A = this chain, B = another copy of it.
Amino acid sequence: MTYCVGIRTSQGLVLASDSRTNSGIDQVEVCRKMHNFVVPGDRVVTILSSGSLSLTQSVMTRLEQEFRSGAGLAAAANFYDAARCVGGHVRDVAAIDRDYLERDKIGFTVNLLVGGQIRGEPPQLYMVYAQGNPLRCTRLSPYLQIGESKYGRPILDRGIRFGETTLDQAVKYAILSLDSTMRSNVAVGPPIDLLVYGNDDFTIRRYRRLDASDPDLVEIRSNWEQALRKAIADLPQVDFSPLPDQSRVAFTRG
Binding site for B on A (CB under 8 A): 35-42, 44, 64, 67-68, 70, 74, 150-155, 157-159, 168-169, 171-173, 175-176, 180-181, 183-184, 194, 196, 203-208, 216, 219-220, 223-225, 227-229, 231-240, 243-244, 246, 249-254
Contacts and interface: CB of A to CB of B under 8 A. Distances in A.
Given A70-B253, A227-B231, A204 B246 contact: yes
Contacts of A35: 251
A130 to B, nearest CB: 22
Copies in the complex: 2
Given A172-B232, A228-B231, A246 B216 contact: no
Contacts of A176: 232
A39 B237 contact: no
Contacts of A229: 159
A232 B51 CA distance: 31
Contact of A204 (B150, B194, B232, B249): B249
B249 A236 contact: no
